[in-house]
């Protein structure tokens, strides 16, 4: 009886191991990738411990990859570790991938299908894979490039933005026959090829790395990494796998954006480092600039601490507290900041050891425990002392609220006379549409699921807005668009908004546009 039970247990173990991925090094004598078109990339990612082989020692690069295998790969790249409390109804806890799917759900890059199902053992399509990749790497595009493919019309509406973004960056190019084949399944080799194009440099082991020039993006997914004397000609991802640990950037020049999604109170140290832009989205992280360091702009989407210490460079220049900041999150400032703009509502700021010019556009802002009112003027902050920048009376400020406005629509004269009728308007924002693509630093695309007004019967897509001959073109088309809600609309258009990028309550707007006769077009503010 004991032998029979033991035999049964061994059979079960063998069956499980036959389907579970295992770690295999490139030097283990694997022969099914030799001579493969992606051999170099496959070997590299195996050595990093990201790409796992099968129990029989093979990689099977041309195998289709399942949805469960795909999210496991993404989790390993970023080091996602937090587990969701809610599992999909079709994912059994006993499956090897159960925990990986919980990580992906918490990370927010998967939502599954209707009725709370994920279909983990289904193969993932090329367009589904691209949507996930664009989301986790925060890759966006302001144009529609799907028409570059012969079968671009087959790309589903939900995937067009993501496919366009990866085409624009050169991460995907399709097949030699000019097709993309969006509904085809993606293979293991194709997945690795795309990931390697996006992040040619991946640091997933503790240690010092130096004297590099990275022609592309880089990603750090573990604590204890010191990147020194390196130029990153792209973006740098400080991923979730850093958890609450520390990372040092010393003598580093990042030409793109540093995405801070990992790190804790010990912090991310920037020493003699130059960064174009930082996006902070990790609650509790401390970012310290020291030495000859400069950061042109910072966008803060979570509670954080920004500190300047023993600084000889410019440090943090412009800081924007993003409108996406969760309510009651606190941002601590230590140092001398050139300009801080608060777009979020209910933000908490501590400035006891800071100086700054402060512009508040959000509601119910508290600084050092005191509520500060929204104002078109700058505040001057010096520790706990807060005063208004010396300007004219509020009613003298161009665009200040005034009920005497008698300006007619389309008038080129200033609306609402001020106490000084000759007051000059100050240009604070403009877009001449003189670049080949829409400037997504100025605009966002609105989504009709945010609400419809005035009996709108069209669906908004990014495809209907583009720049041609130095002008913004927004087309209204008669076509059927089925939205994620399942509702079909028979017309399409596009809506560009400045909310979240540039926002004002008062001001004067001038626009030059060409319209069809007897048609109504709207410029909406609010």
Return d(Cα 67, Cα 419) in angstroms, integer.
65
Q: What's the confidence (pLDDT) of residue 292?
A: 98
| 119 pLDDT above the threshold of 70 | yes
In a shared domain, residues 310 and 360: yes
Within-domain flag for 25: no
In a shared domain, residues 182 and 113: yes
Please tell me whether residue 378 adopts helix, strand or coil conformation: strand
* Cβ–Cβ under 8 Å, residues 503 and 519: no
Q: Which of the listed residues 152, 174, 197 is the one where a domain comes to its end?
A: 197
In a shared domain, residues 240 and 335: yes
In a shared domain, residues 134 and 161: yes
Within-domain flag for 175: yes
| 166 pLDDT above the threshold of 50 | yes
Within-domain flag for 101: yes
In a shared domain, residues 272 and 351: yes
Averaged pLDDT for residues 5-32:
45
Q: What's the confidence (pLDDT) of residue 129?
A: 98
Q: What's the confidence (pLDDT) of residue 396?
A: 37
Within-domain flag for 9: no
Which residue range is the domain that position 84 belongs to? Answer: 38-197
In a shared domain, residues 99 and 193: yes
Q: What's the confidence (pLDDT) of residue 352?
A: 97
Number of domains in the chain: 3
- DSSP letter at 499? T
Enumerate the β-bridge partners of residue 481: 489
Confidence of residue 89 (pLDDT cuts 50, 70, 90): very high
Within-domain flag for 376: yes
Query: What tokens were used for 14?
Result: 């063998």
Averaged pLDDT for residues 430-446:
73
Helix (H) or strand (E) holding 188: helix 188-198
Return d(Cα 163, Cα 446) in angstroms, integer.
19
399: alpha, beta or left? (left if phi > 0; alpha if psi -120 to 50): left
Averaged pLDDT for residues 498-521:
59
In a shared domain, residues 220 and 283: yes
| 202 pLDDT above the threshold of 70 | yes
Which of the pair, 26 or 264, is modelled with greater confidence? 264
Residues 6+ apart with CB under 8 A from 208: 226, 228
Query: What tokens were used for 500?
Result: 């979240």
Terminal Cα-to-Cα distance of the chain (whole angstroms): 78
In a shared domain, residues 381 and 232: yes
Q: What's the confidence (pLDDT) of residue 377?
A: 87
In a shared domain, residues 152 and 208: no
Question: How large is the angle between the packed helices 188-198 and 67-78, nearest 10 degrees?
Answer: 30
Q: How many residues does the chain have?
A: 526
Return d(Cα 174, Cα 166) in angstroms, integer.
11
Averaged pLDDT for residues 393-418:
39
Enumerate the β-bridge partners of residue 388: 379
Q: What's the confidence (pLDDT) of residue 82?
A: 96
In a shared domain, residues 305 and 264: yes
Within-domain flag for 411: no
Q: Mean of the per-residue pLDDT values for the chain?
A: 83
Q: What's the confidence (pLDDT) of residue 20?
A: 47
Q: Which of the listed residues 336, 357, 387 is the one where a domain comes to its end?
A: 387
pTM value? Answer: 0.71
In a shared domain, residues 110 and 189: yes
Dump strand ranges (E) for 322-403: 330-342, 348-360, 365-367, 370-372, 378-382, 385-388
| 104 pLDDT above the threshold of 70 | yes
Q: What values do phi and psi take at 372, rounded to 5?
A: -115, 130
Q: What's the confidence (pLDDT) of residue 519?
A: 52
| 109 pLDDT above the threshold of 70 | yes
Q: What's the confidence (pLDDT) of residue 158?
A: 94
pLDDT digits (tens, 9 = 90+) for 210-232: 988 999 999 999 999 999 999 99
Within-domain flag for 19: no
- Least confident residue range of 41-55, 414-428, 483-497: 414-428
Q: What's the confidence (pLDDT) of residue 475?
A: 82
pLDDT digits (tens, 9 = 90+) for 179-196: 999 999 999 999 999 999
Nearest to 224 by CA among 191, 257, 246: 246
CA angle 192, 193, 196 (to 5 degrees): 80
pLDDT digits (tens, 9 = 90+) for 337-347: 999 999 999 99
Q: What's the confidence (pLDDT) of residue 478?
A: 78
B/e letters for 365-378, b = 16+ CB within 10 Å, e = fewer, are: bebeeeebeebbeb
CA angle 457, 460, 462 (to 5 degrees): 160
- Least confident residue range of 133-137, 240-244, 507-511, 521-525: 521-525
Enumerate the β-bridge partners of residue 207: 225
Return d(Cα 462, Cα 510) in angstroms, integer.
24
Residues 6+ apart with CB under 8 A from 399: 376, 425, 504, 506, 507, 508
Return d(Cα 345, Cα 343) in angstroms, integer.
7
| 203 pLDDT above the threshold of 50 | yes
In a shared domain, residues 125 and 259: no
Q: What's the confidence (pLDDT) of residue 409?
A: 38
499: alpha, beta or left? (left if phi > 0; alpha if psi -120 to 50): beta
pLDDT digits (tens, 9 = 90+) for 126-163: 999 999 999 999 999 888 999 999 999 999 999 999 99
Q: Which of the listed residues 337, 356, 387 is the one where a domain comes to its end?
A: 387
- Least confident residue range of 12-26, 244-258, 294-308: 12-26
What are the C-alpha distances in Å from 247 to residues 86, 194, 235, 241, 286? 32, 26, 16, 11, 11
* Cβ–Cβ under 8 Å, residues 515 and 482: no
Within-domain flag for 407: no
């Amino acid at each position: 009886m004991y032998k029979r039970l033991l035999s049964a247990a061994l059979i079960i173990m063998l069956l499980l191991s036959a389907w579970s991925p295992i770690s295999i090094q490139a030097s283990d004598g694997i022969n099914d990738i030799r001579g493969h078109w992606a051999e170099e990339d496959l070997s590299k990612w195996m050595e990093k411990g990201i790409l796992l082989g099968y129990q029989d020692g093979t990689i099977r690069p041309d195998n289709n990859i399942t949805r469960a295998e795909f999210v496991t790969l993404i989790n390993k790249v970023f080091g996602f570790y937090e587990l969701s409390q809610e599992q999909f109804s079709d994912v059994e806890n006993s499956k090897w991938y159960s925990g990986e799917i919980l990580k992906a759900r918490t990370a927010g890059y998967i939502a599954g299908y209707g009725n709370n199902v994920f279909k983990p053992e289904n193969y993932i399509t090329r367009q589904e894979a691209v949507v996930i990749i664009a989301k986790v790497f925060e890759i966006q595009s302001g144009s529609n490039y799907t028409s570059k493919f012969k079968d671009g019309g087959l790309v589903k509406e939900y995937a067009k933005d993501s496919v366009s973004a990866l085409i624009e960056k050169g991460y995907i190019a399709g097949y030699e026959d000019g097709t993309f084949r969006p509904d085809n399944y993606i293979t293991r080799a194709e997945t690795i090829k795309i990931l390697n194009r996006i992040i040619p440099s991946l640091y997933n082991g503790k240690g010092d790395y130096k004297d590099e020039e990275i022609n592309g993006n880089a990603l750090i997914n573990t604590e204890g990494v010191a990147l020194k004397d390196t130029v990153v000609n792209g973006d740098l991802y400080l991923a979730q796998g850093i958890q609450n640990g520390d990372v040092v950037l010393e003598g580093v020049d990042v030409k793109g954006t540093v995405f801070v999604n990992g790190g804790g109170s010990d912090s991310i140290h920037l020493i003699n480092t130059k960064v174009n832009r930082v996006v902070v989205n990790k609650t509790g992280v401390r970012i310290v600039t020291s030495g000859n360091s400069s950061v042109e702009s910072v966008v803060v989407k979570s509670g954080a601490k920004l500190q300047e210490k023993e600084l000889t460079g410019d440090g943090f220049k412009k800081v924007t507290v993003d409108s996406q900041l969760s309510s009651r999150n606190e941002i601590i400032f230590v140092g001398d900041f050139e300009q801080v703009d608060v777009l979020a509502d209910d933000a908490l700021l501590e400035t006891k050891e800071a100086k700054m010019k402060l512009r508040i556009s959000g509601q119910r802002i508290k600084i050092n425990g005191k509520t500060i009112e929204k104002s078109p003027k700058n505040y001057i902050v010096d520790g706990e002392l807060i005063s208004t920048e010396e300007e004219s009376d509020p009613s003298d400020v161009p665009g200040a609220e005034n009920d005497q406005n008698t300006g007619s629509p389309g008038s080129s004269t200033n609306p609402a006379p001020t106490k000084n009728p000759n007051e000059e308007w100050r240009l604070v924002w403009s877009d001449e549409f003189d670049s080949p693509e829409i400037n997504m630093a100025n605009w966002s695309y609105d989504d009709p699921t945010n609400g419809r007004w005035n009996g709108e019967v069209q669906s908004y897509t990014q495809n209907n807005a583009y720049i041609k001959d130095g002008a913004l073109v927004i087309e209204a088309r008669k076509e059927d668009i089925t939205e994620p809600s399942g509702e079909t609309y028979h017309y399409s258009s596009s809506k560009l908004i400045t909310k979240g990028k540039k926002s004002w309550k008062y001001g004067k707007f001038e626009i030059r546009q060409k319209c069809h006769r007897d048609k109504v077009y709207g410029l909406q503010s609010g």
